[in-house]
Structure 1
Amino acid sequence: MADRIARSRFESASKRRSHSFVLCQLARSNACQSCTGDCVGTSNSTGIIMSFLDRSPESIVAHNQVAWDNLAAQDCEWSRPVSPQAIAAARQGDWSVRLIPDDIPDHWLGQVADHDILCLASAGGQQAPILAAAGATVTVLDASEGQLEQDRLVAARDGLALSTIQGDMRDLSIFPDESFDIIFHPISNLYVPDVRPVWTECYRTLRKGGRLLASFYNPVVFVGDRDPKWREQGLIRPIHTMPYADTEDMEANELEAKVARGEALVFGHSLTDQIGGQTEAGFRIAGFREARAPVPRFVIDQYLPTFIATLALKAL
């Protein structure tokens, strides 16, 4: 049995009205967090189909929550809990967690024992349980109840203390100022239409000297036409400008079909919003890494790294 499983519910204003990659490739470590949304989707088993007469951020987050709940129920790659053996190894100091496909420098996370860590939009039974087994006090906030349930399963199975909260990554008002030493935020902010509130809230809830480890896509992956005929010819046909939004840039019939299939909606944020947004929130960028897609899905993946990770520090 778990020493303690704190299970809480959080309803922000954005969730009261109703509620991240779509199938998987790699990275986020939060559910198929590395998906840019053009993979095969899933049917919406709950029957909640979003009306895009109302394309509000709240409705989008609600739709994506349902999409991820469905993926968690269907054994998505990023919804598969880590093994008891991995937890046992982490308790002995042998562990790692994925921010991008490649390893990140050890000093980015450093020693996590006795540190308060927020795994932000990072549920799925993978990163959070490993960090908890390594000695950290871990809280997971994620929009998807299905993803959070995977963390609870590992906690109960392996006797881990783990807190889980369902909520919107842009609204951390449930937490007081300076609540955490580390925030671990793998690829997931492509599921919200506005990313700057994420950075502002991360800065507020980190303690002085705290660190934010984040990953996201190089926005170049969003500019190309997704018609398979171009990929088959090895061609890139740029048709979208940044910032990209499924809700604005897809043809109406394509958007309607994507929603009807229950696929998550994605947003390509500019580097100004992804990196500049962190510095404008008050962070200092202390580390930067890129990684190539392990299995290229787009032509551009063959030519440059499309995963980006940053280490951002809050001043003492």
Structure 2
Amino acid sequence: MDSANQNSKAWDKKVEDGSRYTQAVSREMIAKSKSGEWEITVTTEKAVPRDWFPKTLSGLKVLCLASGGGQQGPILAAAGAEVTVTDISEKQLQQDEMVANRDGLTLNTVQGDMSDLSDFEDQYFDMVVNPVLNLFVNDVRTVWNEIARVLKDKGVLIAGFTNPLLWIFDDEQEREGILDVQHSIPSCTLDYLPEDNIADYIHSDQTIEYAHTLEDQMQGQIDAGFAITGFYEDDFGGSRILDKYIKTFIATRAVKYTIS
């Protein structure tokens, strides 16, 4: 199964449907960002702490990875960074381009898979911002390794990802208030479906998602050459029953160190 192509089409459809994570930021938010009053999210609700960023973003080369939708990239560009946004969805990138044209911002967009950053030179970026989207790739360790390659020494990675406990419950029942443990970790969306339902699922242009272990998420960063220097958790803002019991999203700040 070509999950990259499937997820590209699925996210294009999400843009057409107006999904939350495809809605571009407003003119007002860009104006505030230009004046120094800015924030971004890489999880669901909480803003990334400002002290995870340098005091000034002016001239900072930032890769917003799998981060289309006209959200993080335009805000960081308005705050002074030299931003490149890459995403698997062409229509998500069009949201960033729309905001840039609307508000006079300079940013670069590149369509591509977060598992393959061969469009970018080694040690080019000062910072990589990666929201909760590595659930759309099978091998998350490849993503961490690619990020490490394109980051400069002492470059910063700010990443969001899911707590794997989110995946062990049947999603439809959880949304109805029933916590029924059904799935193992690691696993994939298609593993949860009866075999005769898989073709219909794919043809309906829905995303294929992967539940990664915490070891691959955390130790995977460390093995790629990162030291984790910041951590927080997030949830659905009280809209899901799981919020009563545990935070289901994680954000980390990590610094790349090149060992000679």
Aligned-partner Cα distance in 1 for 2:178–2:79: 45
Which letter maps to 1:188? L
Aligned-partner Cα distance in 2 for 1:129–1:227: 34
Deviation at 1:174, TM superposition (A): 1.1
- The range that moved more, 188-197 or 105-114, is 105-114
Contact persistence 1:141–1:165 (CA under 8 A): yes
Structure 2 match to 1:293: 236
Structure 2 match to 1:314: 256
Deviation at 1:149, TM superposition (A): 0.2
Aligned-partner Cα distance in 2 for 1:82–1:249: 35
- The range that moved more, 74-83 or 121-130, is 74-83
| The one of 35, 44, 62 aligned to 2:5 | 62
| The one of 258, 263, 280 aligned to 2:206 | 263
Aligned-partner Cα distance in 2 for 1:157–1:307: 32
Scaled by the length of structure 2, the TM-score of the pair is 0.94
Q: Where do residues 142-221 of structure 1 align in structure 2 (5 Å cutoff)?
A: 142-221=87-166
Judging changes above 3 Å, is the alpha-carbon distance between structure 1 residues 76 and 292 closer, same or farther for their aligned structure 2 residues? closer
Contact persistence 1:285–1:313 (CA under 8 A): yes
Describe the SS at the equivalent of 1:94: coil
Which letter maps to 1:190? L
Query: Does the alignment pair 1:129 with 2:74?
Result: yes
Deviation at 1:231, TM superposition (A): 5.6
Which letter maps to 1:248? D
Describe the SS at the equivalent of 1:131: helix
Which letter maps to 1:160? L
After superposition, the C-alpha distances for 1:212-263 in whole angstroms (9 at most, x for unaligned) are: 00001100011112343x664x442212111011133322234333223211
Structure 2 match to 1:108: 52
Contact persistence 1:246–1:255 (CA under 8 A): no
Which letter maps to 2:64? C
Contact persistence 2:7–2:208 (CA under 8 A): yes
Aligned-partner Cα distance in 2 for 1:245–1:220: 14
Judging changes above 3 Å, is the alpha-carbon distance between structure 1 residues 226 and 92 closer, same or farther for their aligned structure 2 residues? closer
| The one of 183, 195, 199 aligned to 1:240 | 183
Contact persistence 2:68–2:93 (CA under 8 A): yes
Percent identity between matched residues is 41
Q: Where do residues 19-98 of structure 1 align in structure 2 (5 Å cutoff)?
A: 55=1, 59-98=2-41
Which letter maps to 1:250? L
Which letter maps to 1:70? K
Runs of at least 4 residues off by over 6 Å: none
Scaled by the length of structure 1, the TM-score of the pair is 0.78
Judging changes above 3 Å, is the alpha-carbon distance between structure 1 residues 209 and 231 closer, same or farther for their aligned structure 2 residues? closer
Q: Count the aligned residue pairs.
A: 256
Contact persistence 2:64–2:73 (CA under 8 A): yes
| The one of 213, 218, 224 aligned to 1:281 | 224
Aligned-partner Cα distance in 1 for 2:61–2:98: 21
Contact persistence 1:84–1:158 (CA under 8 A): yes
Contact persistence 2:39–2:48 (CA under 8 A): no
Aligned-partner Cα distance in 2 for 1:155–1:199: 28
Q: Which structure 2 segments of 5+ residues have no match?
A: none
Judging changes above 3 Å, is the alpha-carbon distance between structure 1 residues 207 and 88 closer, same or farther for their aligned structure 2 residues? same
Deviation at 1:197, TM superposition (A): 0.7
Contact persistence 1:97–1:127 (CA under 8 A): yes
